[in-house]
Structure 1
Amino acid sequence: MKTKALFYKTNEHRLILMSLSLIIFLFVQLSCANAQNNQWLQFQAAQPNGKHIVLISGDEEYHSEESLPMLAKILTTHHGFKTTVLFSIDPKTGTIDPTYQNNIPGLNNLTSADLIIIATRFRELPDEQMKYIDDYLKAGKPVIGLRTATHAFNAENKMKDSPYAKYGYLSKEAGWEDGFGKQVLGETWIDHHGQHGKEGTRGLINGLFKENPMLNGVSDIWVPTDVYTIKDLVADAKVLVWGQVTKGMTAESLGSWEKTIMPVAWTKSYSIESGTKGKAFATTMGSSIDFLNEDLRRLIVNACYWAVDLTDKIPEKSNVDFVGNYEPLMFGFGTFKKGLKPNDYR
């Protein structure tokens, strides 16, 4: 009887130890997953449309770390997109730091992406991160570029000897002249056409494309960021919105007739080494404060439908109501909210 009792007791102890081991294992796995996922945001739609958008922030001036979570929540809550938002993360602190140009965790999410929205500026990423971007573009998948995406990458320092140096905005490599901005979006960084910080942008809808569903519900765009210089768009680019410089930083400011209008939103096609053709939409508007303008938000939402071949699903007036509070900062260097982690933008 003692032997039998000892047998049951030993088995009981063994079961307890196995259970504890399993609990510890699951805890460690969950902790690792949470530690990784805390480096980016992901939103799941209550009524998913089956499309996944990855939004890539990382600029020092226009606070894409604020605007892209806001856009992601609109796209998921009102339009059924699964969204993932990536940030420039300081690996020492785990906090969002747009001035840290060499680390955007979570780019592996591009393997399941149907669309990327990129708003980076002068990033110099390690090869293992750039590979995900390169593979995505070689597959000819769609791209939306905001504001500084015309100069999304730089290759003057850490990327100088990288196989992805061609992505830099000053690239001279044959077939990659002026880098990602020119070859994918249609233009690289040239200059400010308006006076930065003193003149804004009035969006003028191109009447030639007023029946284009991408312009559904889009009629009144004014933003405080100035017009960028656009030198030479490719022949197949379709300018949906032209930008007029305004003599001031309010929506009531008069337009400047001394300065020519410039393209500020357009579509085009692109193809890189693989030859697979993809679609691109670009706008030189897009600071976080610009997105207080409802029609600019609507233009981007409509562009997402177009990019993933759901043009026939574009609403007559897309719902672009904010999900939660949105109080963006005025653009400027060194003014981002310090010490925040991705979940602070949830």
Structure 2
Amino acid sequence: MMKKVLCYWKLFVVVGMLLSRTIEADEPLVGTAERPLRIALLSGSGEYESAVTLPVWKKKLEAEYHVSCDLLQAEQEIRIDGLERLKDADLAVLFTRRIKMPVEELGPLKAYVASKKPIIGLRTASHGFQSYLEFDKEVLGGNYQNHYGKGEPTTIKLIPEAKEHPVLKGVIRERPWKSEYSMYRTAPLAEDCVPLLMASSPAADREHPAAWVRESEGRRVLYATLGGRTDFDSPEFQTLLINGVSWSTRIPLETLKKP
């Protein structure tokens, strides 16, 4: 009798696995024409004009890649409606600055963080929500401690040891380049962060990481201190961003890119 039960149980398991694979096979791949990658863009950094740059980037992404973007625009850095739509996103891109929402209204954002889905943070995302400042250390792996004097440009250079990282593919430059925006104090990073770019400034006494990636508990994160309006005009920054979308979601660019 026991042998029959075991046989039936094994048969049940095998059939279940086959059905599961059949269902999965019927589902279109994410990042294709049949199932575009869903990206939530959280915009709310008035100082760096995210309301100007993110809509332009959204248009570019949707024109060139199998991507569907949901742009959530904050109201005067006071609140950002529609956070509940994060539950449908495959990737969240945060470019907000000290949004003054009560912590109890950030439930959808914290639920997204808990889901371990990928995240990209730009510039002020390290202090994107005033009631959720721990996001910087806990999720991004950063250590934002304000910035050096305004008016001093930042010099950006690649870290030689990181030049083979997929996020830097096509970003390789022999010489550093300039960002007109002030340099952030970001060091030291969490131990599991991998710095990609370093920043220096005449106003600073040392270099600080300007971009890094992090893999933690199955989630991939990219953060860059870049993100001002003129940064978006830089081919290097644009390449870094789309590489970051591909790397963080584990979808090859060849799959994402439209014919």
Structure 2-normalised TM-score? Answer: 0.78
Contact 2:144 2:187 in 1 (8 A): no
Deviates more, 1:213-222 or 1:107-116: 213-222
Q: Does 1:213 align with 2:154?
A: no
Partner of 2:92: 116
User: Which blocks of at least 5 consecutive residues in structure 1 are unaligned?
Assistant: 1-44, 90-97, 156-166, 170-178, 248-255, 271-275, 320-346
Choose the corresponding residue for 2:141, options 173, 176, 186: 186
| Alpha-carbon distance between aligned partners in 1 of 2:154 and 2:254, rounded to the nearest angstrom | 29
Query: Counterpart of 1:50 in structure 2: which amino acid?
Result: P
Counterpart for residue 78 of structure 1: 64
Shift of 1:277: 3.6
**Counterpart residue identity of residue 138, structure 1:** A
Within-5 A mapping of 1:102-181:
103-126=79-102, 129-155=105-131, 167=132, 169=133, 179-181=134-136
Kindly state the Cα deviation for residue 244 of structure 1 after the two structures are TM-superposed. 2.3
Deviation of the 1:205 alpha carbon: 1.0
Flag the structure with larger Rg. 1
Question: What code does the residue aligned with 1:214 have?
Answer: V
| Alpha-carbon separation, structure 2, partners of 1:314 and 1:213 | 15
Counterpart Cα distance in 1 of 2:35 and 2:85? 18
* Residue 290 (structure 1) aligned to one of 224, 228, 231: 231
CA distance in 2, matches of 1:282, 1:129: 24
Q: How many residues align?
A: 225
Residue 134 of structure 1: CA displacement? 1.0
Q: Quick one: which amino acid aligns to residue 287 of structure 1?
A: G
Question: Which of residues 28, 44, 61 in structure 2 aligns to 1:58?
Answer: 44
Question: In the alignment, is residue 69 of structure 1 matched against residue 55 of structure 2?
Answer: yes
Superimposed CA distance per residue, residues 132-160 of structure 1 (whole angstroms, 9 cap, x where no aligned partner): 111111110111000011111113xxxxx
Where does the alignment leave 5 or more consecutive residues of structure 2 unmatched? 1-30
Do 2:39 and 2:70's aligned partners in 1 also have CA atoms closer than 8 Å? yes
Q: Percent identity of the aligned residues?
A: 28
CA distance in 1, matches of 2:231, 2:161: 25
Q: Is the 8 A contact 2:32 2:255 kept in 1?
A: no
Query: Residues 305 and 313 of structure 1 are in contact (CA less than 8 Å); yes or no, is this contact kept in structure 2?
Result: no
Report the secondary structure of 2:113's partner residue.
Answer: helix
Given residue 289 of structure 1, which amino acid in structure 2 is its aligned partner?
T
Which residue of 204, 221, 224 maps to 1:280?
221
For 1:222-237, what aligned pairs fall within 5 Å after superposition?
222-237=178-193
Report the residue type matching 1:189 in the other structure. Y
- Give every structure 1 segment of 4 or more consecutive aligned residues whose post-TM-superposition deviation is greater than 3 Å: 45-49, 126-129, 311-315
Task: State the match for 2:213 in structure 1.
Answer: 267
Alignment check: 8 A CA contact 1:104 1:129 kept: no
- Alignment of 1:307 with 2:248, yes or no, is yes
Q: Could you tell me how far 1:304 is from its partner in structure 2?
A: 0.5
* 8 Å CA contact 2:187, 2:209 repeated in 1: no
TM-score (normalizing by structure 1): 0.60
